[in-house]
Structures are given as structure tokens and as C-alpha cells.
Amino acid sequence: METPRKRRKKIIEDPQPSEDPVEDEKTESALQSDETPKEPKSLLKKKTKSKKPKPILQQVKSRKSATKIINEYHTFTKQLEQIKRDEQETGQSEELASKRKEIEKKMNQNGGIHTYQEASTFDYQFRKYSTDKWIVETMKQAEMVPEGKKKLKVLDVGSLANNFKKYPWMEVKAIDINPQDPSVEKMDFFDLDLDRFDGAFEVVILSLVINFVGDPLQRGRMLLHCNRLLQKNGHLFIVTPLACLNNSRYLNEEIFMEVMISLGFEKITSKNSKKLAFFSFRKMESVTSMQRSFHKDIVRPGSQRNNFCIVLLKDKETQ
């Protein structure tokens, strides 16, 4: 008895012309490629989809997609910081816990901090002017490069890949909450032991870092901590998106300068590129507590403004 399998093998070895010329072409093509014709899709069993949703990692394929990922991550971070402040003021609740869970879910679906950093690295290559290059050039112009075997003690915050390790005249302590290079220490800036590192550095670098911090009060604390970490006459480099200063509802460059002066810094130099603002400051005096407050006050009304601001409070003052 001729089985279906034998019959099929016979057809392939000695194909009979069909009434359908298209099917004849398919059979001939299969013979030429030493493959058997595939079963019609209608006869194949459909695979059942898993009911459990999987995180969808965004692929960084263009600068536009990189910008989208970066902006969304900053938005999620700010939303989580707001929930944290709400919990401190009103206590924990099911509503706030639910909001936190939903935001964290969206962050994970976008790939979390790993994808955010990939997007940041991808976007970096398109900048016409390197932030690292500007910082090094400014150091050289200020004659900060030490002579002989002495090295400049540098704290690079949010380092990611430790771009300053290639300079032999720098002794760099590079930190990041999610390092991408073995030479970068996994650490949150706010976990630094201020007693241990009091006046330990000649340079502190905050390159696209202060805008990453979601809480305006934490931004102020970060700048205050920088004063303590620096030696007298030490230098603080800040690079931030230009929009943080020229399109913020609560902050402009004039107020930013007042903030820095109140923190014991004087501006040495600054420049703007199309999208970034670059600043170099020198520490003139030690400041451990604030004598003046900077609140979240509107300086530029308008629906198209962003909400970036820096908050500093005097001692014993609560927000």
C-alpha cells in the first residue's frame, strides 16, 4: 500500500503538471533549491500568545529616538520624585503606591536606566562640541594642568564611561549609579561620605547631571555638597541643557548666577552651544548652610515653558 509520505516523495521526484501554473512554479523552485514545498499557512497551527506582557525595549536607532527615550526617562524620574515628596508630606497611601508602580512599569517597558544611558551615549556622538573637550580646554587655559608627577584630583559625577581616564595628569574618581566602564564606581552622589571627602578634590564635574536629578531641592543640595567636596579655589564644571536656563518657568541665568554666588562660587567662564550651557566656577569660600532661600517662583509665565528649577532653603526653613 502506498503511504501519503511515499506518494509525496514520488511527486517530488517525478512531479506531475498541475492545473495551476503558479503551483508548478513553486514545485520547480523547491526542486531547484533541494527543499520540499512548505505546507499552506492555513494548515499550520497558530501559536498561542503568552498572556504575560513582556517589556518592550526601545531600540536606539536614531537621534530622534534617543531624544525621545531621554526625555521620557527624565519625565518619569520627576514624577517619581514628586510621589516621594507627596509621601513625605502626607504619608504613604494606596493611590501613591499605585502611581509609583505604574510609572516604574513604564520605565521598565522603555528599558530602564540601561536604555536611557545607551540613548545618552548614542546622542553624544552627534554633538558638534564635546563637553569633555570643553572642560579639558578650559582646564588648560586656566593653567590647571599640574607639573611633574603631581595629578589633578577630579570627581566626575555621572561619569558613565570615565571619559577623563585617558588624561595621565588627572587622578579621577568617577562615579555613576549605573556604570558602563569597569573604572567607574557604582555610587549615588548623595551616598558620598562628606566627612571623608571634605575638601578632597580640586575639580568636580557635573556634566549633564544636575538636570538628571528630579527633585529641585536635591539639586540645591547637590551644589551645596560640591562646595564642601572642593578645596578652596577648586573648580566646579557644570554642563546642562540650555533649555533649563532659557526656557524654564522658574529659572533663568541671572537667578542661576545668584544661586551659585550664595553657594560661595564665582563664575570663571561660560559658553552656550545650540543646545547646551557650559559653566566653570571657582570656590571662593566654604558654605555649609544657606543664608538666603531660593524658592520655586515663576519668572517666565507661559504654557510652553519647562519646570526646571533649583531650590535652596535657609537653615530650619521647610519647603
CA dihedral 122, 125, 126, 130 (to 10 degrees): 130
For the ranges 70-74, 135-139, 158-162, the one whose mean pLDDT is highest: 135-139
Distance in angstroms (rounded) separating the CA atoms of residues 75 and 287: 31
- Grid cell digits, residue 304: 510652553
Tell me, what's the pLDDT at 120?
A: 63
Around Cβ 131, how many Cβ atoms within 10 Å? 18
Q: What is the mean pLDDT of residues 66-84?
A: 73
Residue given cell 524620574 in the structure block: 77
Tell me, what's the pLDDT at 87?
A: 79
Distance in angstroms (rounded) separating the CA atoms of residues 123 and 68: 11
Written as one string, the DSSP assignment of 273-300 is -SSEEEEEEEE-S--SS-SS-B----SS
Distance in angstroms (rounded) separating the CA atoms of residues 119 and 64: 10
Q: What is the mean pLDDT of residues 92-105?
A: 84
What's the pLDDT tens digit per position in 198-243?
999 999 999 999 998 989 999 999 999 999 999 999 999 999 999 9
What's the pLDDT tens digit per position in 53-65?
444 444 566 767 7
- Beta partners for residue 188, in sequence order: none
Three-state SS at 16: coil
pTM of the complete model: 0.66
Per-chain mean pLDDT for the chain: 80
Q: Are strands 230-241 and 276-283 parallel, antiparallel or unpaired?
A: antiparallel
Sheet of 152-157: strand order equals 185-186, 170-176, 152-157, 201-207, 230-241, 276-283, 265-272
Helix (H) / strand (E) element for 78: namely helix 63-90
Written as one string, the DSSP assignment of 170-239 is EEEEEEESS-SSTTSEE--GGGS-TTTTTT-EEEEEEES-TTT---HHHHHHHHHHHHHHEEEEEEEEEE
Distance in angstroms (rounded) separating the CA atoms of residues 68 and 30: 46
Burial grade of 54 (CB within 10 A; 0-12, 13-18, 19 or more): exposed
